[in-house]
Amino acid sequence: MSTTETWISSLRYKGDHLLLLDQQQLPRHTVYINVTTIEQVWDCIKKLQVRGAPAIGIAAAFGIVLWAKANNSLPYDEFKSKLLQQKAYLAGSRPTAVNLFWALDRVTGSAEQARDTEEAVQLIEQEALFIQQEDEETCRKIGEYALTLLKNGDCLMTHCNAGGIATSRYGTALAPMYLAKEKGWDLSVYANETRPVFQGARLTAWELQQAGINVTLITDNMAAHTLKTKNIAAVIVGCDRVAANGDTANKIGTFGLALQAKALGIPFYVASPLSTIDLNTSTGDDIPIEERPAEEVTHFQGEPIAPEGVKVFNPAFDVTPHEYITAIITERGIASGNYKKQLANFFNS
Ligand SMILES: CSC[C@H]1O[C@H](OP(=O)(O)O)[C@H](O)[C@@H]1O
């Protein structure tokens, strides 16, 4: 999306409230929820009304801002104690995307230098705004690095939604597609619908179509056949947590896609901001995988599509071992091969 075009932001901060894009109502309705409390932010994260690792972190950061402003008359010691309680509360909304914890650490940590409650509130608000602004530049840089791996005319595949509405703008996996459009390239994209919540069908296909980018929707079980027959240049996906060794948690179905790409000799790229890389998580085995309500699988638009009472396993993510990842594209550069060393170097550069 060029700077002259308007884009649909996932979160707009209005000082005393947030306007959060309700991603559960897309693509039929573009609705912004008027959010005034930290409890509402928790609820929106839990219900995937705001989703996508960076967007979750940004929403949580502003959830802390809303709480801090509403409690700006507390004595400072009480404010600091309750701030940590609110941090723990929001941290309980979803377990896998590390951006949630990274953003909460940043906004609460920013207040540690404050001398009183008023200054703490100002620092928290300033840090939340920094996080949102930085994320936009981060995503653009990821897009620029990703384009060094692609060429005009390439056909790509992506899974779930790692687009502009999953971040502050541009997205991660979709960033190269937006920047390619700006450059006048003709990239085409196969978007996997991504059951059970259909982020690919409802969000990625919608985002790319809105941007005038050549997108084709497929069901998840069509991916292997499409990879084999449609001259796919690369698969590029987002992520929710990259471990220190490069093992990557992303939307359920990503691991299978990586296996298929490996078997067919197609590059498999993960687009990851440093905010989604967690050097404190050693390997993919250490990443908590969220399990979500059975109704996401057994129902569609409120109607049952499975027998009542059937057992359901509904992991929201899976982990792709780093051996199946051709490269991890960050805002500091592209890592490939020795991920443990290269990812650590990005944090030191
Ligand atoms: C740019 S992060 C996008 C990442 O988050 C999604 O998960 P969810 O929709 O459950 O928040 C998915 O794993 C995407 O790749």
Beta carbon of 194 within 6 Å of any ligand 1 atom: no
Query: Which stretch of DSSP H or E encloses residue 203?
Result: none
CA gap 68, 235 in Å, rounded: 42
Strands 241-243 and 248-251, sheet pairing: antiparallel
pLDDT at residue 69 is higher than 80:
yes
Tokens found for residue 7: 């884009």
pLDDT band of residue 6 (cuts 50, 70, 90) is low
6 in any annotated domain: no
Mean pLDDT of 209-228: 98
The complex's ipTM works out to 0.99
pLDDT at residue 21 is higher than 90:
yes
- When the pLDDT of each residue in the chain is averaged and rounded to a whole number, the result is 97
Domain boundary among 138, 154, 170: 138
Beta carbon of 167 within 6 Å of any ligand 1 atom: yes
Domain boundary among 108, 138, 168: 138
pLDDT (0 to 100) of residue 4: 41
150 in any annotated domain: yes
Task: Tell the residue number behind the tokens 């009480």, with chain if given.
Answer: 78
CB half-sphere exposure, 38, CA atoms < 13 A: 23
Which residues are known binding-site members for substrate?
A: 51-53, 94, 199, 250-251
Tokens found for residue 83: 């701030």
Could you tell me if 64 and 40 lie in one domain?
Answer: yes
Q: Identify the residue whose C-alpha is closest to ligand 1 atom 7.
A: 52
Could you tell me if 204 and 330 lie in one domain?
Answer: yes
Which residues are known binding-site members?
A: 51-53, 94, 199, 250-251
Could you tell me if 117 and 237 lie in one domain?
Answer: no
* Chain-centre distance for alpha carbon 20: 15
Could you tell me if 335 and 248 lie in one domain?
Answer: yes
Mean pLDDT of 159-182: 98
Could you tell me if 15 and 96 lie in one domain?
Answer: yes
pLDDT (0 to 100) of residue 3: 42
pLDDT (0 to 100) of residue 225: 98
Closest to 140 in 3D by CA, of 108, 101, 183, 110: 183
Condensed to tens digits (0 to 9), the pLDDT of residues 126-169 reads 999 999 999 999 999 999 999 999 999 999 999 999 999 999 99
Number of folded domains in the chain?
2
Mean pLDDT of 35-49: 98
**CB neighbour list of residue 344: distance below 8 Å, 6 or more residues apart:** 244, 279
Q: Give the number of the atom of ligand 1 that is nearest the alpha carbon of residue 238.
A: 15
Could you tell me if 110 and 191 lie in one domain?
Answer: no
Which residue type occupies 36? Answer: T
Could you tell me if 264 and 311 lie in one domain?
Answer: yes
260 in any annotated domain: yes
Could you tell me if 223 and 342 lie in one domain?
Answer: yes
Read off the CATH number of the domain in which 16 is found.
Answer: 1.20.120.420
- pTM, entire model: 0.97
Question: In the chain, pLDDT over 70 holds for what percent of residues?
Answer: 98
* Chain-centre distance for alpha carbon 229: 29
Domain boundary among 119, 138, 157: 138
Active-site residue (options: 22, 154, 220, 240): 240
| DSSP 8-state assignment for residue 115 | S
Beta carbon of 51 within 6 Å of any ligand 1 atom: yes
Could you tell me if 200 and 343 lie in one domain?
Answer: yes
Read off the CATH number of the domain in which 246 is found.
Answer: 3.40.50.10470
Condensed to tens digits (0 to 9), the pLDDT of residues 250-290 reads 999 999 999 999 999 999 999 999 999 999 999 999 999 99
Beta carbon of 187 within 6 Å of any ligand 1 atom: no
Mean pLDDT of 186-200: 98
pLDDT band of residue 194 (cuts 50, 70, 90) is very high
Beta carbon of 199 within 6 Å of any ligand 1 atom: yes
Mean pLDDT of 224-234: 98
Mean pLDDT of 297-302: 95
Question: 91 alpha carbon to ligand 1 midpoint, in Å?
Answer: 17
Could you tell me if 130 and 168 lie in one domain?
Answer: no
252 in any annotated domain: yes
Beta carbon of 250 within 6 Å of any ligand 1 atom: yes
Among 49, 199, 290, residue to substitute to test ligand 1 (most atoms within 8 Å of Cβ): 199
Condensed to tens digits (0 to 9), the pLDDT of residues 107-138 reads 999 999 999 999 999 999 999 999 999 999 99
Q: Is 86 exposed, middle or buried (0-12, 13-18, 19+ CB in 10 A)?
A: buried
pLDDT (0 to 100) of residue 1: 38
pLDDT at residue 5 is higher than 90:
no
Q: Identify the residue whose C-alpha is closest to ligand 1 atom 12.
A: 251
The parent domain of residue 100 ranges over 11-138
**CB neighbour list of residue 341: distance below 8 Å, 6 or more residues apart:** none
Could you tell me if 131 and 187 lie in one domain?
Answer: no
pLDDT at residue 299 is higher than 60:
yes
1 in any annotated domain: no
pLDDT at residue 8 is higher than 90:
no
Start-to-end CA span in the chain (Å):
29
Could you tell me if 66 and 147 lie in one domain?
Answer: no
The yes-or-no answer on residue 240 being catalytic is yes
pLDDT at residue 16 is higher than 90:
yes
* Chain-centre distance for alpha carbon 45: 12
pLDDT (0 to 100) of residue 349: 81
Mean pLDDT of 178-198: 98
